[in-house]
Amino acid sequence: MILLDGKHTSNQIKEEIKDTVSGMKSRGERVPHLAAVLVGNDGASLTYVGSKVRSCEYVGFDSTLIHLEENITEAVLLKQIEKLNQDKTLDGYIVQLPLPKHIDEEKILLAIDPKKDVDGFHPANFGRMALELDAFIPATPFGIMQLLERYKVPTNGKHCVVVGRSHIVGRPISILMSQKGPAGNATVTVAHSRTEQLAELTRQADIIVMALGIPEYLTADMVKEGATIIDVGITRVADDSHPKGYVIKGDVKFDEVAQKAHFITPVPGGIGPMTIAMLLKNTLLARQWNAS
């Protein structure tokens, strides 16, 4: 069994980005600048955004955190977005999700200039990605593709079953893996909560991407010997014996599935760390694309 070590690979990618930024600095060029908009005080969102800002500092990017009150109006947030769209010192920005219920998430995401949409959530980027044009690919599927490519996991002609059809993970990874190119050329099946006989499908898969959000859903009996397992799940499960009061669980029953898998991602330390590295990569791409 080979562990697909997202922590190690994401550190490697960060070092590559750091080197590129050093080169930019030494040539007197402006370094990439990422902004993150956070509305309210959701615990997980605070952790994620903090981690994104710290990673920017690590690789030498400029970063700006815009922390807004939970009760701001949609109109005020839209004004802030417009300001960020106009800001010539800024290469890319993200609006951390989820947003408070009184704000229409779709309206906000549509207001982001696609050229600064380093999360890749705008329909223009999704469409460009599907058409194999230069696009910001959402960080999670981008991270999965990088991990598969760097570990040389065979995908050419293989059957990949993606479990989950979200706009951020399941749908885009199913498109990317079916496209030509590295980590591509797979035959992809998209399964979801309405799929009948899921275990029969997953047992046929050479690669399984679990993006369902149900802790430890995939068990050993659902997996073929030698399969590649990608676990995108990160659910906080209450656990009083842990100092934080919770533990992070993936969608895969790791201990038993690892016995049968050839390649497998752990949780934590698998896809999670890759997403931040790919957000940085998108910000670097934004700097490069928007400069020319």
Nearer to ligand GUN, 19 or 104 (CB): 104
Are the beta carbons of 136 and 119 closer than 8 angstroms? yes
Contact between 94 and ligand GUN by CB under 6 A: the answer reads yes
Contact between 96 and ligand GUN by CB under 6 A: the answer reads yes
CB of 271 to ligand GUN, least distance (A): 11
Nearer to ligand GUN, 139 or 175 (CB): 139
CB of 134 to ligand GUN, least distance (A): 20
Contact between 95 and ligand GUN by CB under 6 A: the answer reads yes
Size of the site for ligand GUN (CB under 6 A): 6
Active-site residues, by number, are 52, 96, 119
Nearer to ligand GUN, 97 or 110 (CB): 97
Interface with ligand GUN (CB under 6 A), residue from 66, 68, 72, 97: 97
- From the list 231, 214, 169, 164, the residue with the least C-alpha distance to 194 is 164
Contact between 118 and ligand GUN by CB under 6 A: the answer reads no
**Single-letter code of the amino acid located at 273:** P
Q: Considering only CA atoms, give the Rg of the chain.
A: 19
Contact between 278 and ligand GUN by CB under 6 A: the answer reads no
Provide the CA 232 distance to its chain's centre, in angstroms: 9
Element (H, E) at 201: helix 198-202
CB of 119 to ligand GUN, least distance (A): 5
Spatial CB neighbours of 271, under 8 Å, sequence gap ≥ 6: 6, 140, 143, 144, 147, 230, 231, 232, 265
CB of 45 to ligand GUN, least distance (A): 7
Q: Give the three-class secondary structure for 222.
A: helix
Q: What angle do CA 209, 189, 6 make, to 5 degrees?
A: 15
Q: Which residues bind ligand GUN (CB under 6 A)?
A: 94-97, 119, 139
